[in-house]
């Protein structure tokens, strides 16, 4: 491979500038619980039996009278980038929301139905996708997303912004180590972790909450593979709990959860009350979100924000066949003159006023990478919104690649991709710092 191909490349899209003295926000919550049995993803193939709690699209739209930005949190494990693109085209045509201004995130519950094509996962776990996905349910989820965007636009109202931090011990590193230094899925109390809650509050003119947006990294894996009920798992249960307390929707946006599990989960052989394991997260995480909300003591109606997108190009992992890349994801891979695959990874940015920078990626990112970017960011509040606009899979650090285990084994990326990501995202944040007012 030439030095040119080894190097990272990115394509810069011009920012979209938005400013308004009558900043408006609209929010809606749309039920996407299926009424038929569905294949659940996140573990091995299995069909759902019953519903523990309903699953939803939660949608917030920001508008300044000229442009719109839409953020979606769905109680799904993941979608492919191709599924995102299908929905984005419809939403652009109906509501004039540009693709880089539509962020469709997934909470990563492992007790939700499969939606759309499998994306890159069959590269490594083909046995999970020997069946045809349910096209009727996929269309229903997409239709409800499109409908939900319209409903949120109809509810737009003047709003004020508040932002703050919280902290919760509801998660734990899941890269367990044996005495032989082999890595396996388990609990590692000494492993890297991110326990910060990044919180955004939008409220109306009289201070009543319109919506909370909570950012926290955690796998939705409290319920085990043996529980076949549909559920939002931790993100869903926590969202419902907070909503009951504040009287407004909560969008749970997962963070860099690639190597982070819930602090407690249910073993396959546990025969006790499974709901009690989920419900404890109402206190462990839900109450911490509520506390962080109470600690936001100031808001502003003067909101200035802009979006930006870069595309990072980084090599496909050695040994993977670029020609086996899924056809419906052609725009996320190119093959160079040497026949080597180069992954094209879109990274989106949302800068709000002088203090808040949010970046998102279609990744299950290891928390060390997000922590590094945040630690050196010039913005006081820097949030990472993960599993956004589809997923390209796990992105571990170089050190964790060398330790092996599940996540590196099913990642399509080279060992240097994490360093590339840190460099290029940090460069953008530094540039945005120089141009902010």
Task: Write the pLDDT tens digit of every residue in 51-61.
Answer: 999 999 999 99
Task: Give the pLDDT confidence score for residue 28 in this predicted structure.
Answer: 98
Query: Quick check: 390 pLDDT over 50?
Result: yes
Q: What angle do CA 315, 255, 294 make, to 5 degrees?
A: 160
Q: How many CB atoms lie within 10 A of CB 102?
A: 24
Written as six digits, the tokens of 288 are 């911490």
Residue 110 annotated as binding site: no
Phi, psi (5° rounding) for residue 159?
-145, 160
Contact 374, 382 (CB under 8 A): yes
Q: CA 225 to CA 221: how far, in whole Å?
A: 9
Residue 108 annotated as binding site: yes
- Give the HSE-up count for residue 175: Cα atoms under 13 Å, Cβ half-sphere: 27
Task: Give the pLDDT confidence score for residue 21 in this predicted structure.
Answer: 59
Global model pTM greater than 0.85: yes
Q: What angle do CA 397, 400, 406 make, to 5 degrees?
A: 115
Q: CA 27 to CA 210: how far, in whole Å?
A: 7
Indicate the range of 117-126, 147-156, 291-300, 389-398 predicted with least confidence: 117-126
| pLDDT digit string, tens, across residues 83-95 | 999 999 999 999 9
Task: Give the pLDDT confidence score for residue 122 in this predicted structure.
Answer: 77
Task: Give the pLDDT confidence score for residue 14 in this predicted structure.
Answer: 37
Starting at the earlier edge strand, list the strands of the sheet with 183-188.
Answer: 183-188, 171-177, 260-262
| pLDDT digit string, tens, across residues 270-285 | 545 677 889 999 999 9
Q: What is the DSSP string of 76-138?
A: SS---HHHHHHHHHHHHHHH---GGGEEEEE--BTTEE--S--TTTHHHHGGGGSSPP-HHHH
Q: Which residue has the higher pLDDT, 67 or 184?
A: 184
Contact 311, 10 (CB under 8 A): yes
């Amino acid at each position: 491979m030439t030095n040119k191909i080894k190097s990272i490349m990115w394509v810069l899209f011009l920012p979209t500038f938005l400013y308004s003295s009558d900043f408006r926000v609209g929010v809606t919550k749309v039920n996407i619980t299926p009424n038929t049995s569905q294949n659940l993803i996140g573990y091995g193939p299995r069909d759902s039996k019953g519903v523990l709690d309903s699953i939803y699209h939660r949608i917030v739209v920001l508008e300044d009278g000229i442009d719109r930005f839409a953020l979606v949190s769905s109680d799904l494990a993941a979608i492919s980038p191709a599924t995102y693109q299908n929905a984005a085209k419809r939403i652009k045509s109906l509501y004039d929301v540009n693709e880089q201004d539509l962020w469709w995130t997934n909470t990563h519950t492992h007790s939700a139905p499969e939606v759309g094509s499998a994306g890159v996962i069959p590269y490594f776990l083909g046995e999970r996708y020997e069946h045809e996905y349910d096209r009727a349910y996929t269309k229903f989820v997409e239709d409800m997303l499109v409908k939900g965007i319209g409903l949120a636009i109809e509810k737009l109202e003047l709003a004020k912004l508040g932002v703050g931090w919280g902290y919760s011990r509801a998660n734990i590193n899941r890269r367990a180590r044996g005495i032989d230094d082999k890595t396996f899925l388990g609990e590692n109390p000494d492993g890297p972790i991110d326990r910060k809650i990044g919180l955004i509050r939008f409220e109306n003119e009289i201070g009543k909450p319109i919506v909370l947006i909570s950012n926290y990294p955690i796998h939705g894996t409290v319920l085990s593979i043996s529980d076949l009920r549909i559920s939002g798992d931790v993100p869903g249960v926590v969202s419902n709990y907070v909503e009951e307390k504040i009287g407004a929707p909560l969008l749970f946006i997962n963070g860099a959860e690639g190597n982070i599990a819930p602090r407690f989960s249910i073993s396959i052989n546990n025969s006790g009350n499974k709901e009690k394991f989920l419900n404890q997260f109402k206190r462990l995480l839900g109450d911490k979100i509520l506390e962080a909300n109470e600690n936001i003591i100031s808001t502003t109606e003067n909101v200035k924000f802009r979006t930006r997108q870069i595309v990072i190009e980084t090599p496909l992992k050695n040994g993977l066949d670029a020609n086996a890349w899924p056809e419906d994801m052609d725009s996320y891979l190119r093959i160079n003159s040497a026949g080597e695959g180069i992954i094209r990874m879109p990274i989106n940015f949302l800068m709000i006023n002088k203090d808040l920078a949010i970046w998102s990626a279609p990744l299950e990112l290891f928390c060390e990478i997000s922590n590094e970017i945040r630690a050196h960011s010039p913005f006081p509040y820097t949030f990472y919104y993960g599993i956004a606009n589809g997923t390209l899979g796990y992105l571990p650090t170089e050190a964790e690649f060398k330790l092996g285990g599940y996540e590196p084994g099913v990642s399509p990326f080279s060992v240097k991709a994490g360093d590339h990501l840190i460099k290029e995202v940090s460069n953008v944040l530094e540039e945005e710092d120089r141009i902010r007012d």
